[in-house]
């Protein structure tokens, strides 16, 4: 940044948007040493924004900025402590010159490990083994070899690439699905057109959804795409719930034709009484695939590092492409 990065001679005003009951970053004192910090919730955000240079979205599921946008009279940078930015994006922010950054890099390996765990649990029938144990049954079965199975990773960003590398490491044949088709990719080998997803699902054993949620990806795994999956296919969603037509997926799981590990749902928490709670082929987790021990400390450190760059006059990138809704890859 060529201009002075603050409204007060190197000491920017940072609004930290948090939620009631959520602990502040562990390094809030260090942040306050180089910036004036104003703490806000969704209800108080509009009153905190006037004159602020930076918005630090610590409440990662908050969409409060849209309602308070008119009060953001000096805002130059918004940082979201999450990989996905769909909750914070709206037309006013897209059309502005405000820089948007996210927690790129923080969740890549933890989410990749989680996906690998889901794949292994599915092919080695660990859920069924646990159920037999709880029922007091000694039940011998034969499980699948993981090596040689086929996976399609939908979403070829940094997290998708980390997933591809983990799956390849255990011998799984991996392809990617994204916006740009290519036949030679360092992590995916082949990348097929995610806009024609149904055409590429006929031989998929493990379908991993990790695409960002945008207008183009909303509902991209619909009834037609699910029907194109072979019997016995396994779906893992660690992206966003609305990537998938959830009623259609529920129907396929209920039929016994496919199974799924779902870390994200259309509505979170999953409502009581939803059939996904009870279906044997559905395995639900509480949006935690990237939340390893110490993850909030990592996010706090990342923001402090970016803030130091900002104060020094450097751009605290990489920037999110606000039209696409994610940080473009190489």
Per-residue pLDDT at 57: 98
Task: Give me the pLDDT at residue 7, please.
Answer: 47
Where are any strands of DSSP class E within 63-188? Answer: 77-80, 99-101, 150-154, 173-178, 182-185
**What is the per-residue pLDDT across 265-306, written as a single tens digit (0 to 9) for each?**
999 999 999 999 999 999 999 999 999 999 999 999 999 999
pLDDT at 167 over 80: yes
163 and 112 Cβ atoms separated by less than 8 Å = yes
In this prediction, residue 3 carries a pLDDT of: 43
- 46-69: average pLDDT: 97
CATH for 13-106+293-312 is 3.40.50.720
pLDDT for the residue 330: 63
**Residues 114-130 pLDDT 10s:** 999 999 999 999 999 99
Q: Which residue ranges make up each domain of the chain?
A: 13-106+293-312, 108-284
Lookup: tokens for 271:
């409502």
Give the separation between CA 174 and CA 210, rounded to whole angstroms.
14
Mean per-residue pLDDT, 203-227: 97
Q: Give the number of other Cβ atoms within 10 Å of residue 92's Cβ.
A: 13
Does residue 164 register a pLDDT over 70? yes
> pLDDT at residue 6 above 80?
no
Structure tokens at 318: 């990489």
Residues annotated catalytic, as ranges: 240, 268, 287
Q: Reply yes or no on domain 108-284 having CATH 3.40.50.720.
A: yes
100 has pLDDT over 70? yes
């Amino acid at each position: 940044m060529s201009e002075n990065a603050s409204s007060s001679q190197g000491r920017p005003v940072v609004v930290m948007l948090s939620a009631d009951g959520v602990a502040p970053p562990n390094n809030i004192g260090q942040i306050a040493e180089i910036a004036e910090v104003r703490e806000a919730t969704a209800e108080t955000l509009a009153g905190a924004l006037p004159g602020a240079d930076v918005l630090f979205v610590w409440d990662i599921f908050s969409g409060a900025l849209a309602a308070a946008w008119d009060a953001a009279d000096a805002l130059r940078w918004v940082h979201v402590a999450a990989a996905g930015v769909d909750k914070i994006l709206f037309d006013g922010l897209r059309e502005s010159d405000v820089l948007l950054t996210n927690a790129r890099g923080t969740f890549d390996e933890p989410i990749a490990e989680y996906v690998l765990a889901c794949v292994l649990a599915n092919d080695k029938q660990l859920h069924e083994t646990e159920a037999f144990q709880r029922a007091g049954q000694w039940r011998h079965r034969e499980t699948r070899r993981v090596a040689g199975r086929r996976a399609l990773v939908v979403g070829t960003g940094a997290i998708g690439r980390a997933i591809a590398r983990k799956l390849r490491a255990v011998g799984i044949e991996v392809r990617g699905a994204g916006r740009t088709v290519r036949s030679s990719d360092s992590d995916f080998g082949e990348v097929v057109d995610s806009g024609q997803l149904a055409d590429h699902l006929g031989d998929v054993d493990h379908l991993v959804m990790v695409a960002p949620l945008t207008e183009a990806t909303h509902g991209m795994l619909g009834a037609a795409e699910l029907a194109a999956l072979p019997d016995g296919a396994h779906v893992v969603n660690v992206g966003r719930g609305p990537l998938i037509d959830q009623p259609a997926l529920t129907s396929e799981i209920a039929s016994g034709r496919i199974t799924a590990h779902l870390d994200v749902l259309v509505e979170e928490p999953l409502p009581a009484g939803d059939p996904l709670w009870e279906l044997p082929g559905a395995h639900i987790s509480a949006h935690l695939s990237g939340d390893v021990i110490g993850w909030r400390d990592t996010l706090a450190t990342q923001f402090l590092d970016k803030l130091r760059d900002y104060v020094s006059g450097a751009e605290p990138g990489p920037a999110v492409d606000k039209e696409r809704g994610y940080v473009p890859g190489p």
